[in-house]
Structure 1
Amino acid sequence: MKTQTFTHILKRLTFMSLALSFLGMQAQEETEKKWFDNVNVSGSVDGYYRYNITADNRDFFAPGTSFVNRAGFALGMANVILNYEGSKVGFVADLVYGPRGEEAVFLSTGSSQIVNQLYVYWNVSEKVKLTFGNFNTYLGYEVISPVGNFNYSTSYMFSYGPFSHTGLKADFALNDEWSAMLAVMNPTDYTESNPFDTYIVGAQLGYSGETGSAFLNFRYGNEGEPGAVGPTFQADLTTGWDLTESFYLGINGTYLSTEPQGDGDASGFYGIALYPQLKTSESFTIGLRGEYFAQYNGGLVFADGGGFISPIAFDNEGDGDVIAITLTGSYDVGDLTLKPEFRLDSSEDVFLDKDDEVTSTLASFVVGAIYKF
């Protein structure tokens, strides 16, 4: 009897010891993995082929928009994003390399030319989040990364709106559907420092529901040397809705005005774009971007060697407009997306045809290839 009792006790002690050891090892593993589990690495690589149908195939024969403007086979960018998500604090280091990345951070110099975004954040509460550093703009429908856009080429509104900001912003969750944002930032696209000692303020009011979202965005402030330029005001509406299970409609409208120094009229631009998209299968979607974009009082007219140039037409008053229609197909093969795209830009006497004669239209074809990880 004593032997059986002793054996039973020994078995129980052995079992308890093994159980405690297992729990200790599991707790140790959880403690060791906790920081690593919060680190995410993602990004993309892209390239494309571009062919002008109605113009010569040289680099400068292209629409006056950002990216995807090089002739023949061309490179986009390599994008690597390191993201740490803590319960209260975290950071994002978004690095880019290649022609698209270089254009995206065009005001940068030196080694930081590869920095697309670099910021830290603090979740002060469930309702308030503070972000400090360099972050991509909150205005507009399109973004720098090709992964975030349906069309491979970019719109005029995106190209001449802000790309990135450096500053401090506060996001507020008003309830489950409504949000707001306030920000103080350097002049637009001056992401490394502030050479002017002027600042801009930004604001956003957002709504997100089950079938879509809408964001009303603002920015205001002096974008350059005090006394050299007047304050700039921009209002922007971005919205998108799933109208059916297979049909989506996005809309972007923007208006920008820069006040003159002294007497004169304000100058700027405005535009609207529609983004209907039809999903025909699990792997293929076809979409259209129809954009109308206009400048007034020379809002996009720049001095060039004694003359003046503009990406869109302008008359003696500095007024002009462009219509751009872009038809894009998007085909997914695993993590690879192929985007064949036909684009037609129309603006009075601003393009050149195959004989280098001035013309009002430019038709082009692009195939983009994007791999995301």
Structure 2
Amino acid sequence: MKAITITKYVKKTLLLSLSMMTIGAMAQDDEEKSPFSLSGSIDGYFRTTGMDAGLGTTATPTSFANQTGFALGMANIIGSYEGASTGAVVDLVFGPRGTEATFNNDILNGVINQAYAYWNVSDKTTLTVGRFNTWVGYEVIAPAANFNYSVSYLFSNGPFSHIGAKADFTLSDDVSLMLAITNPWDTNDISTSGIYALGGQLGVYGQYLNVYYDGGGQGGLGFEIDYTGGFDVSEDFFLGINAAYNDNSETETGFYGVALYPQLSTSDSFAIGLRGEYFQPTADAFDPEGVTAITLTGSYTKENLIIKPELRLDSSDGLFLDGDGAPSDSLASFLIAAIFSFD
């Protein structure tokens, strides 16, 4: 399983901009910025399900933020060098969220989230090689860039990161195209099978159609098509949308689902948002039940600190256990998270 909801921003643009922020001038000219930059975040949370001491299920079948009591998320440190036309980014993660995001199977015990070099061939074309976070899905690994603190089923069951090469093309002010060739999903170090994955993203006026294909063999994900977008309903109200379909012909499994992200800003420092999701696994061998998850999150910002109280209700026929260990159709949880970002 892999693991703001981006309000008015595309997640890939946000992550890249975070990695390119500068930390001050190093040259004698005060207006000249250093090519080096450093940014990152730390986060932790308290979570309860009301039956933490019983025999019931306390974790949702999604990634991250599944501990009860006080827990650490991760420390995230992003260093970058930006030259005239080339550069590099190293994104390091430490802690449970980072370990789960990297599957703890890379060098340094899963510390490297991203490590890539890029070349701005022109003002409309960028080539990137290395390890980079996925273009598929609405949410991201770093909690500072999501509106909800816990993550969705769609995000948890898709890819997290890829190692390979990609090319980004700016076709116009409102249209973009990305093409990629990578190792198969969940094969972040090497591809021993001789099979590689293909992917792409078409962006049109802030709406993104994402595709990924690796054939489904050797533990691959198979084929996934994903729509990520949203609309400013008003100056203070944003509606985000994510829908995806996945099919793995090798394992005869897959899924489909949709998630809506209405978010309302009530002031410069506070916003409230809801994630309503329906997720349906598919398989020829059995008929799994779908999952409905409703997540209500508040977001209060004070300088670089974000406080997020969150109430979540997951429902599915017999998927969970109650406090006596008997099958239950639902799981309710409450958490409050603190996220500090720096640049």
Structure 1 residues 69 and 230 mapped into 2: Cα distance closer, same or farther (>3 Å)?
Answer: closer
2:43–2:72 CA contact under 8 A, matched in 1: yes
Deviation, structure 1 residue 54: 5.7
How far apart are the structure 2 equivalents of 1:230 and 1:344? 30
Which residue of structure 2 aligns with residue 365 of structure 1?
334
Structure 1 residues 218 and 72 mapped into 2: Cα distance closer, same or farther (>3 Å)?
Answer: same
Answer yes or no: is 1:330 the counterpart of 2:327.
no
For residues 262-309 of structure 1, what are the alpha-carbon distances to aligned partners after superposition, in whole Å with 9 as ceiling and x for unaligned?
A: xxxx421001000000000111000000000001116xxxxxxxxxxx
In structure 2, runs of 5+ residues without a counterpart are 1-26
Deviation, structure 1 residue 318: 3.1
2:176 to 179, 198, 205: 179
Higher Cα Rg, which structure: 1
Structure 1 residues 107 and 60 mapped into 2: Cα distance closer, same or farther (>3 Å)?
Answer: farther
Which residue of structure 2 aligns with residue 108 of structure 1?
105
2:184–2:221 CA contact under 8 A, matched in 1: no
Structure 1 residues 198 and 73 mapped into 2: Cα distance closer, same or farther (>3 Å)?
Answer: same
Which residue of structure 2 aligns with residue 216 of structure 1?
209
Which residue of structure 1 aligns with residue 189 of structure 2?
192
Higher relative contact order at CA 8 Å, sep ≥6: structure 1 or structure 2? 2
How far apart are the structure 1 equivalents of 2:179 and 2:204? 15
Matches within 5 A, 1:154-303: 154-208=151-205, 213-225=206-218, 232-260=222-250, 266-297=252-283
- What amino acid is the match of 1:255? Y
1:108–1:190 CA contact under 8 A, matched in 2: no
How far apart are the structure 2 equivalents of 1:43 and 1:58? 37
How far apart are the structure 1 equivalents of 2:197 and 2:133? 15
Structure 1 residues 89 and 176 mapped into 2: Cα distance closer, same or farther (>3 Å)?
Answer: same
Q: TM-score when scaled to structure 1?
A: 0.81
Deviation, structure 1 residue 58: 7.6
For residues 338-369 of structure 1, what are the alpha-carbon distances to aligned partners after superposition, in whole Å with 9 as ceiling and x for unaligned?
A: 00000000010010111111110000001010
Deviates more, 1:58-67 or 1:330-339: 58-67
Matches within 5 A, 1:9-48: 29-30=28-29, 37-48=34-45
Answer yes or no: is 1:62 the counterpart of 2:55.
no
Deviation, structure 1 residue 87: 2.2
Q: Secondary structure at the match of 2:58?
A: coil
- What amino acid is the match of 1:259? S
- What amino acid is the match of 1:216? L
- What amino acid is the match of 2:229? T
Aligned length: 316
How far apart are the structure 2 equivalents of 1:250 and 1:202? 23
How far apart are the structure 1 equivalents of 2:56 and 2:116? 35
Q: TM-score when scaled to structure 2?
A: 0.87
2:138 to 138, 141, 144: 141
How far apart are the structure 2 equivalents of 1:48 and 1:231? 31
Structure 1 residues 329 and 216 mapped into 2: Cα distance closer, same or farther (>3 Å)?
Answer: same
- What amino acid is the match of 1:248? F
Could you list the runs of 4 or more consecutive aligned residues of structure 1 that deviate by over 4 angstroms after TM superposition?
54-60
Structure 1 residues 291 and 54 mapped into 2: Cα distance closer, same or farther (>3 Å)?
Answer: farther
Structure 1 residues 54 and 344 mapped into 2: Cα distance closer, same or farther (>3 Å)?
Answer: farther
Deviates more, 1:45-54 or 1:64-73: 45-54
For residues 42-99 of structure 1, what are the alpha-carbon distances to aligned partners after superposition, in whole Å with 9 as ceiling and x for unaligned?
A: 0000000000036656896211000000110000000000011222001110000000
For residues 137-175 of structure 1, what are the alpha-carbon distances to aligned partners after superposition, in whole Å with 9 as ceiling and x for unaligned?
A: 001000000011000000000001000000000000001
How far apart are the structure 1 equivalents of 2:220 and 2:131? 24
How far apart are the structure 1 equivalents of 2:104 and 2:110? 8
Structure 1 residues 290 and 344 mapped into 2: Cα distance closer, same or farther (>3 Å)?
Answer: same
Deviation, structure 1 residue 108: 1.8
- What amino acid is the match of 1:243? V
User: Of Structure 1 and Structure 2, which has the larger fraction of its residues in helix?
Assistant: 1
2:60–2:314 CA contact under 8 A, matched in 1: yes
In structure 1, runs of 5+ residues without a counterpart are 1-27, 299-315
Answer yes or no: is 1:99 the counterpart of 2:96.
yes
